[in-house]
Amino acid sequence: MTDETFTPHGCHLIAGSWVDAEARFSSDPAHGPAHDFSVGTPDLVDRACVAAEEAFWTYGYSTRAERADFLEAIAEEIEKRGAKITEIGCSETGLPAARLEGERGRTTGQLRLFASHIRDGAYLDFRHDVALPERAPLPRPDLKMVQRPIGPVAVFGASNFPLAFSTAGGDTAAALAAGCPVVVKGHSAHPGTGEIVAEAIKGAIERTGVPAGVFSLIQGGKRDVGQALVQHPLIRAVGFTGSLAGGRALFDLCAARPEPIPFFGELGSVNPMFVLSHAAKARGREIGTGWAGSITMGAGQFCTNPGIAVIAAGEAGDTFVSAATEALKDVGAQVMLTDGIAQAYREGKSRFDGRNAVEPLLATESDGRSASPNLYQTDAATYMQDHALGEEVFGPLGLVIRVSDEAEMEELARNFEGQLTATMHLDDGDASQARKLLPILERKAGRVLVNGFPTGVEVADTMVHGGPYPASTNFGATSVGTLSIRRFLRPVCFQNLPDALLPSDFQSI
């Protein structure tokens, strides 16, 4: 690679070839030049899906070592293009360079983690019931069970993670690790970033000799691309990260197919945070300041943004609220990922303005692609009656809900919909209240935290980034961490098969 600026050619990648199309759309960068990209079409989606299915007959039967080498090669090819990825990523999303660099490390780390995970082989959940030919009254056959890849997977990335939840992000890494070819629907907020990452994957395909149809990127431009992709008969599952509205529309299409397929949608969440009474008294100021930092990090554009804080009425709660308000006043306007997201933030904020029993603690105005923090306060009864107050506002907006006592805090906790995370701030004296809240929160969220903020999501074996609807469309799954590979696997039982016939994944386990 040279040090020249990266200029996207704007083509789709289909089975190893860059493919142009007549219609173009223009990117809308936060800064720097806009570029033209080919608009995706259902016909291009079909070509990519056919190539993915063809590749599956080889790739789905490759060895775990071959797939691990491929994943590591993708990580290396991404690193080779690191500076250019940061440059185009910053331009398209407005995110700072340090964030893009950190996210690149997370992306390559994820790919390498999956490489070592599949080399180890434990994820296959291999089981063997040895034949019992003498068993009475009936003999038992030899039974072996192993998790097998499901076939071509469609991936939709999110605007707020142009690398870690996009073209070569967690869904793609998990699917490729499992043995599933991937067709990515490029996000229209960062098409150039998608292109250069696809180029890195193409480089890895050429280096390792896996079939070219294992990966395709179809740029968007029009909604019919995503719709055609989830409805394509050769697609076996969908990994989606994005909004509740977009996710729900595509989920419904998957369910309405003649042959329905699983739609693993990771959607939005308000991530409630409960400040228990002893913690509020001892550390209200500190927790309030920390919360303000968490809801404004990255302009609040995190699915794990803890947008709602629950704390008792009274002096300790007032200290928390004034600390949060003061800290938020110091945070200026920040650039949002797209004009549309900035506009949606203002619309979300307008749901709180002038509403009965909802007090603005910090009300700001912003325009264009920027957003500044807003903070509101209400009581538990109002919140529980007004569904609109519980909908995610994607951006730096906080809502404090004041409760009258511990019983009302529990009642409120029961009232929340499914969440990616739920947090408790507690001290030693809060143990009995925490014991009552925990069983409620465990039923609501994929991850329950104590004395922290949920905005950082560790990529690890134990991570669960999912939760009951509407946090995700499949509460048994996670989109982050090694457990996410299970979404793209299916158990198959092999009865009385000679070893020579068994898939290569059985080797050395």
- List, by residue number, the catalytic residues: 266, 303
Neighbour tally for 218: CB within 10 Å: 30
User: Judged by CB under 6 A, which stretch of 8-16, 120-128, 240-248, 495-503 contacts ligand NAP?
Assistant: 240-248
By the 8 A CB rule, do 147 and 486 touch?
A: yes
User: Judged by CB under 6 A, which stretch of 28-36, 75-83, 102-110, 262-270 contacts ligand NAP?
Assistant: 262-270
Q: What are phi and psi of 53, to 5 degrees?
A: -65, -45
Q: Which of 59, 70, 156, 291 binds ligand NAP (CB under 6 A)?
A: 156
By the 8 A CB rule, do 102 and 110 touch?
A: no
Residue closest to 438 by CA, chosen among 427, 429, 449: 449
CB of 172 to ligand NAP, least distance (A): 14
Report the residue number, 304 or 377, with the smaller CB distance to ligand NAP.
Answer: 304
266 binds ligand NAP (CB under 6 A): yes
| CA neighbours closer than 13 Å in the CB half-sphere of residue 507 | 12
Q: Which of 420, 426, 464, 477 binds ligand NAP (CB under 6 A)?
A: 420
267 binds ligand NAP (CB under 6 A): yes
The radius of gyration of the chain's CA atoms, rounded to the nearest angstrom, is 24
Give the position of tokens 């030693």.
428
By the 8 A CB rule, do 163 and 197 touch?
A: yes
Please name the residues in contact with 223: beta carbons below 8 A apart, sequence gap of 6 or more: none
What x-and-dash track marks residues 186-225 binding ligand NAP by CB under 6 A?
-xx-------------------------------x--x--
241 binds ligand NAP (CB under 6 A): yes
Residue closest to 171 by CA, chosen among 189, 187, 191, 157: 157
Report the residue number, 309 or 311, with the smaller CB distance to ligand NAP.
Answer: 309
In three-state secondary structure terms, 14 is strand
Neighbour tally for 497: CB within 10 Å: 14
By the 8 A CB rule, do 363 and 339 touch?
A: no
What x-and-dash track marks residues 296-335 binding ligand NAP by CB under 6 A?
-------x--------------------------------
Report how many residues bind ligand NAP under the rule CB under 6 A: 29
User: Judged by CB under 6 A, which stretch of 103-111, 140-148, 185-193, 207-215 contacts ligand NAP?
Assistant: 185-193
32 binds ligand NAP (CB under 6 A): no
369 binds ligand NAP (CB under 6 A): no
Beta strands 143-149; 127-129: pairing state: antiparallel
226 binds ligand NAP (CB under 6 A): yes
* CA distance readout (Å), 504 to 42, 178, 226: 35, 13, 33
465 binds ligand NAP (CB under 6 A): yes
CB of 226 to ligand NAP, least distance (A): 3
What token pair was written down for 374?
């807003």
Q: Which of 111, 158, 323, 342 binds ligand NAP (CB under 6 A)?
A: 158
Please name the residues in contact with 412: beta carbons below 8 A apart, sequence gap of 6 or more: 310, 380, 383, 384, 401, 403
464 binds ligand NAP (CB under 6 A): no
Instruction: List residues near ligand NAP by CB under 6 A.
Output: 156, 158-161, 165, 185, 187-188, 220, 223, 226-227, 241-243, 246, 249-250, 266-268, 303, 341, 392, 394, 420, 465, 479
